[in-house]
Structure 1
Amino acid sequence: MKITLISPKRERFEQNRMEFWEFGFMASTAGLGTRKYSGTPLAIPILASLIPDKYDIEVIDENIDEIDFNRPTDLVLLTFFTTAATRGYEIGDIYRSKNVKVVIGGCHASMEPDETSKHADAVSIGEAEVLLPRILNDFESGVLAPFYRVAEAERPNLDNQPVPRFNALKLENYFNPTIQTMRGCPMGCEFCTVRVHWGAKYRYKPIEKVISEIELLKKQFGRNTFIMIVDDDVAANTTRSKELFKALIPLKIQWMSQGSMAMAKDDEYLDLMVKSGGTRMIMGFESISADNLKNMRKNPANKLNEFTDNIRKIQSYGVAIIGAFVFGFDGDDTTCFDNTANFIIENSIGLPQLFALTPFPGTALTKRLEEENRILSRDWKYYTGSTVQFVPKLMSVGELEEGYYRTIQNVYSYKNILKRLTGLWDLWDKHAQREEHILVKEKIDVILLNENFRACAYSYRNCYDVDIEEEKHYKNEIQNKLKMFLKKRNVLMERIRPYA
């Protein structure tokens, strides 16, 4: 019996429009044209690990391979986020028209089970470790139920989770692998799906299990690759995180994750994080308005009056902050755009990511906006974080969209890229206790990533006036910096290679 696992591609709704979650530019540039996509999907390897050996499995990541709908299969398992729901539904409909049974799970299906059920024979609501064995048993018996749900008390203990089957993917096509060491979040951020989907309690994978997974990944990838740890707050339990960092040090990897600014208060934490290979940290600032932060019920560790000091402290360790900022909260008026851009530039945030507030299904935000009749569309292909799908409170839809585009183009003008990165590099050169070859590599990578995000920003409607000749000047300066760093890294690598 054959099971086909599919991760749908998040297709562009405009041909030339790029989104911040697209890393094709980075994958092709940093991968020297050899990679098709940046990070590995995590859901597919997890699903593959839960399927007994008696089944024949085919894995398709549509970012890598096209789907051959004529290839025989008995059961299709689809998993996707909201941004890929339109394509996911289309895939489900095609297979069902061929009398192939389809089960859809994942975050979007769990938030929108009734809608999803129109495109599937069964909907999996919650975590696959609990539900997939039931689904496969019922499928073999010919009695698939329309819905499968995980009760709160059934949420799986990560101690016994099988090792994800990373090698079910074509690993040579990816720039970096993705792992998860924890699930759940007790925070109640109004706009976020994490607590709804993963539960309100932190659940941790044993550290020895994390280490064995990374060692396996290094072996299967065949290279000492950069790793994305998709934990929602790697600083949630600093005692546990410090033990994890100590265990990571001998592996000599570089990694990135997501975390709150609580880490800025703990020098030992930051020191161990850097020694273990932590080089980038996604941090959800969301807003520079104290009222917005309070109303969205943001993590209390994110105190506006400490933002500047915390940013400087964390980045001084040789870390590049990937700072997430969102426009369109109820306290935002048209002044929020320039205020946020100035904050990002003045604080030398290495890799800012800017989004329009998006009412993703299942969140408290969406429930409130629905009650206020402010949702404009449920066409999921537009739920990318770069379009406006609701009526803002203190400005028009057009003002929010225009201000958003103008701000990301401002922040990612070559002039301001150079200004931000120069401030970051100066901080690193003065304070960072990193091996020089790693620091130089990070300087190269932040240039490439800024180019990636700039390409996204300028693929939207042009709302920011730039001096073309001035932009050419700053672009040349950045390119000269890149050439200098590349040359320096080559020299440093030649020096250390005999001792590696």
Structure 2
Amino acid sequence: MNALLLYPQFPQSFWSYDRFMKLAGLKAVIPPLGIITVAALLPEDWEIRFFDRNVGCESEADWAWCDLVILSAMLVQKPDFQALIHKAVQLGKPVAVGGPYPTSVPEDALAAGANFLVLDEGEMTVPQFLAAWNRGETQGVFRSLEKPDVSQSPRPRFDLLQRNAYLMMAIQFSRGCPFNCEFCDIISLYGRKPRTKEPEQALAELQTLYDLGWRGSLFVVDDNFIGNQRNVKRFLRTLIPWMKSHHYPFAFITEASVNLAEDDELLQLMREAGFYAVFLGIETPDQDSLQVARKVQNTRNPLIAACQKINEAGLLIYAGFILGFDGERSGAGERIQAFVAQTNIPQPMLGILQALPNTALWDRLKQEHRLVESNSPLTGDQNTLMNFIPTRPVADIAREYVSGFWTMYEPRHYLRRCLYQCLQIRSPQNRKQVMQFSLSQGLRLIMQLIWHQGLRRSEIRGQFWVQLWIIISKKPEVLHLYLGLCAAGEHFWDYRELARQRLTQQLGYDPIAVNFST
């Protein structure tokens, strides 16, 4: 069997870091962990060719060579995903699809012409598909209500990756989340009982990446790394001596719930293990909206104090915010802006709420006859209008979104937050400072930064040099982190224009009237 595994292209988005990737000489932020795990589930005697189309595309010879095409995708990859299915159909190649997008909206993949839908979690459904394939079946839908024991999951095929094209590598320690946020599809996809790998299993994956020569940033892609706090502490206690014995080759970033701030031991273990940053789903500082969204873990303690505590533990904060909750009061966007300014979160991800299939929000809105899918098709993009009728005017939400994004990513505001966030975070003690970038990446970024922000951009030229001196003189140990954040600004300054254009196109008018220049 000759299997062609393809990962579709992403459109330009908040997380694509397009301009930043060019400055660093890279192609993509992180590799697709799901499909290279599927590759490890395929028979050993199959020939595999894998292409992450965000890094490099397959050739026509690859299409001619293969007996089977396998695709995995998230919702935001919909255009290229469907185009690849259509091409496989035209060439007469059977195509099997899986991943979060077809699992949530299987009818799209069927309508596009996919032969096999290998849905839910691959450890359960890939064997079902292989059995059907061996029986000579030419189509099928494979599902499983049972969740797999991830301690039995195979080691991902990291060897298939063009590793030097990525900003980070990735591993997964757990699946699932114990919370019940109404808008989140993670609990419908992976359940509310977090399942974890064994510490030795995760270390074996790290060792594989180490042996393959990877050094630098590593994303632990769990949707809530601390969902099972007992097991994550077991992992961290084994990770700390491993990192020390390997001279701290990796710098970890992950996603976690805000209740991380409630566990001093967990914060200390993460710091000692080499974690430098965490993404928090803050969503909104409005307590009433958090209650409506069932985001109860964000209501137990003051959010600003929680952010300060996480910074003091040595972790840089990335965070997500959402506009459009039911009952949301006017000015929600301005309150998010004030929160971001007070906490100095450098890269706030501001999005407009969409109801995702199979979530509690989707079910409720469907019962209330408020879904308007035909008018606002699901895209997975943060700057798409909601696909339901909100409780306040759409125009107000759009205006607050564009205004908030535009203001927060004004270059001077952005650079100021980068400086103060880096000054706020506590420097690691009693261990070597791990590097976020390789030496070559770092040197390239410095040269590009000096040109773009230290010389070319007159509006921030002076600010760039003053802040650089402050970091060098007061906290040189975070210089690499600070420079990386500054370089990422080049992406966001382009992206805020794109976000405004997209909303203007959807509304038919510009939701804000401001004088701007770049």
CA distance, structure 1, for counterparts of residue 377 and residue 5 of structure 2:
22
1:50 pairs with 2:41: yes
Q: Structure 1 residues 232 and 291, CA, compared in 2 at 3 Å: closer, same or farther?
A: same
CA distance, structure 1, for counterparts of residue 145 and residue 373 of structure 2:
31
1:71 pairs with 2:67: no
Q: Find the residue that maps to 2:44 and give its secondary structure.
A: coil
After superposition, give the CA deviation of every residue in 1:324-343 in whole Å (9 maximum; x if it has no partner).
10011112243111111011
CA distance, structure 1, for counterparts of residue 478 and residue 397 of structure 2:
38
Number of aligned residue pairs: give it.
Answer: 454
After superposition, give the CA deviation of every residue in 1:163-221 in whole Å (9 maximum; x if it has no partner).
1001112222112111100111232211111111112211100011111101211222x
Structure 2 counterpart of 1:40: 31
Q: Structure 1 residues 324 and 211, CA, compared in 2 at 3 Å: closer, same or farther?
A: same
Contact 2:78 2:379 in 1 (8 A): no
CA distance, structure 2, for counterparts of residue 27 and residue 210 of structure 1:
28
1:440 to 479, 489, 494: 479
Structure 1 counterpart of 2:494: 455
Q: Find the residue that maps to 2:327 and give its secondary structure.
A: coil
CA distance, structure 2, for counterparts of residue 27 and residue 247 of structure 1:
33
Structure 1 counterpart of 2:270: 273
Contact 2:194 2:228 in 1 (8 A): no
1:362 pairs with 2:358: yes
Contact 1:290 1:304 in 2 (8 A): no
Contact 1:274 1:317 in 2 (8 A): yes
CA distance, structure 1, for counterparts of residue 476 and residue 224 of structure 2:
28
CA distance, structure 1, for counterparts of residue 128 and residue 388 of structure 2:
42
Q: Map 1:71-110 onto structure 2 (within 5 A).
A: 71-110=64-103
Structure 2 counterpart of 1:9: 9
Which ranges of structure 1 fall in alignment gaps of 5 or more residues? 12-17, 472-500
Structure 1 counterpart of 2:105: 112
CA distance, structure 1, for counterparts of residue 416 and residue 55 of structure 2:
36
Structure 1 counterpart of 2:299: 303
Contact 1:286 1:324 in 2 (8 A): yes
CA distance, structure 2, for counterparts of residue 132 and residue 98 of structure 1:
24
Structure 1 counterpart of 2:384: 387
CA distance, structure 1, for counterparts of residue 265 and residue 380 of structure 2:
39
Which stretch has the larger CA shift, 193-202 or 276-285? 193-202
Q: Map 1:117-196 onto structure 2 (within 5 A).
A: 117-118=110-111, 119-152=113-146, 155-196=147-188
Contact 1:392 1:400 in 2 (8 A): no
Using the TM superposition, give the Cα deviation of residue 133 of structure 1 relative to its aligned residue in structure 2, in angstroms.
1.9
CA distance, structure 1, for counterparts of residue 516 and residue 190 of structure 2:
47
Q: Structure 1 residues 451 and 195, CA, compared in 2 at 3 Å: closer, same or farther?
A: same
Q: Map 1:483-494 onto structure 2 (within 5 A).
A: none
Q: Structure 1 residues 349 and 433, CA, compared in 2 at 3 Å: closer, same or farther?
A: same
After superposition, give the CA deviation of every residue in 1:204-249 in whole Å (9 maximum; x if it has no partner).
00011111101211222x2412100011212223332233223223
Q: Structure 1 residues 80 and 115, CA, compared in 2 at 3 Å: closer, same or farther?
A: same
Structure 2 counterpart of 1:245: 236
Q: TM-score, normalised by structure 1?
A: 0.85
Equivalent AA in structure 2 for residue 465 of structure 1: V
1:321 pairs with 2:317: yes
Q: Find the residue that maps to 2:109 and give its secondary structure.
A: helix
Q: Find the residue that maps to 1:37 and give its secondary structure.
A: coil
Q: Structure 1 residues 261 and 169, CA, compared in 2 at 3 Å: closer, same or farther?
A: same
Which stretch has the larger CA shift, 453-462 or 188-197? 453-462
Q: Find the residue that maps to 1:126 and give its secondary structure.
A: coil
Which stretch has the larger CA shift, 328-337 or 206-215? 328-337
CA distance, structure 2, for counterparts of residue 278 and residue 136 of structure 1:
39
1:197 pairs with 2:189: yes
Using the TM superposition, give the Cα deviation of residue 348 of structure 1 relative to its aligned residue in structure 2, in angstroms.
1.3
CA distance, structure 2, for counterparts of residue 365 and residue 120 of structure 1:
28
Which ranges of structure 2 fall in alignment gaps of 5 or more residues? 434-474, 502-511
CA distance, structure 2, for counterparts of residue 137 and residue 237 of structure 1:
34
After superposition, give the CA deviation of every residue in 1:298-347 in whole Å (9 maximum; x if it has no partner).
1x331275101111111122311111100111122431111110111112
Q: Structure 1 residues 414 and 452, CA, compared in 2 at 3 Å: closer, same or farther?
A: same
Structure 2 counterpart of 1:312: 308
Q: Find the residue that maps to 1:21 and give its secondary structure.
A: helix
1:227 pairs with 2:266: no
CA distance, structure 2, for counterparts of residue 88 and residue 186 of structure 1:
31
CA distance, structure 1, for counterparts of residue 516 and residue 144 of structure 2:
56
Equivalent AA in structure 1 for residue 330 of structure 2: T
Q: Map 1:257-296 onto structure 2 (within 5 A).
A: 257-296=254-293
Q: TM-score, normalised by structure 2?
A: 0.82
Contact 1:135 1:144 in 2 (8 A): no
CA distance, structure 1, for counterparts of residue 82 and residue 516 of structure 2:
44
Contact 1:4 1:73 in 2 (8 A): yes
Structure 2 counterpart of 1:397: 394
Structure 2 counterpart of 1:335: 331
Equivalent AA in structure 2 for residue 102 of structure 1: V
2:347 to 351, 354, 363: 351
Q: Percent identity?
A: 25
Contact 1:283 1:321 in 2 (8 A): yes
Using the TM superposition, give the Cα deviation of residue 381 of structure 1 relative to its aligned residue in structure 2, in angstroms.
6.9
Equivalent AA in structure 2 for residue 51 of structure 1: L
Using the TM superposition, give the Cα deviation of residue 392 of structure 1 relative to its aligned residue in structure 2, in angstroms.
4.4
Equivalent AA in structure 1 for residue 417 of structure 2: R
Structure 1 counterpart of 2:405: 408
Using the TM superposition, give the Cα deviation of residue 466 of structure 1 relative to its aligned residue in structure 2, in angstroms.
5.8
